[in-house]
Amino acid sequence: MEHLTDKKLTEYAEKHSSPESELLAELNRETNLKVPMPRMLSGHLQGRALALFSRLLQPSRILEIGTYTGYSAICLCEGLKPDGKLITIDINEELEDMVRGYFGRSGYGTRIDYLLGNALEIIPGLQESFDLVFIDADKKSYGAYYDLVIEKVRPGGLIIADNVLRHGTVVAGNTDKETRNMQQFNEKVQADSRVENLLLPIRDGLMIARKR
């Protein structure tokens, strides 16, 4: 992220990482041109990181909490097994047509379940064991999402949470409520003996927790 990483270093890292597909580049552009708060998009560097984690893990089941415009979901699908499935949940119905359009064009459309509604209400009803969970929704609920999914993740599976650095405010002296929520989430994961974890400072920070 620009607040913590020099822009030239970010550009250098992107230049020396695998490129976005043409579809992802188009989705990136359209999101930045037409959708409010485009910084919520995972983007090139983080998208390649998510795709790489997925390819290494080769998951059968992925859960994404927070779809936005679908960029991260498409990246995560790159590592899915041929019979695998990704479930993605978002509360914003206004982006549905755009998201479904890109999912359809991605080639992964038949393997994505796109659910609209409150994730806190939907997750308890999911009868799945997940290999990979990506949390990128409302920050105040990160702890609740974690509690809901930890028992649904298989041993060796990953939970990845985005925005855990909160634009660098997690190390600031004076913090707002959302920053305190994120600090508490980071401490929660750090103290959880069920996982081994790494806070990776890519863009706005990824907390990566591997279930033991």
Q: How confident is the model at residue 86 (pLDDT cuts 50, 70, 90)?
A: very high
**DSSP codes of every residue in 39-94:** GGS-HHHHHHHHHHHHHHH--SEEEEE--TTSHHHHHHHTT--TT-EEEEEES-GG
Q: What percentage of the chain exceeds 90 in pLDDT?
A: 88
CATH topology of domain 7-211: Rossmann fold (3.40.50)
Shortest CA distance to 166 belongs to which of 157, 156, 175? 175
| pLDDT value of residue 8 | 87
Question: 47-83, pLDDT tens digit by residue?
Answer: 999 999 999 999 999 999 999 999 999 999 999 999 9
- The C-alpha atoms of residue 145 and residue 123 are separated, in whole angstroms, by 8
* Domain map (residue ranges) of the chain: 7-211
Q: What is the pTM of this model?
A: 0.95
Mean pLDDT, the chain, whole residue set: 95
Report, as an integer, the average pLDDT of 187-205: 96
Q: Is the dihedral of CA 93, 164, 207, 123 positive or negative?
A: negative
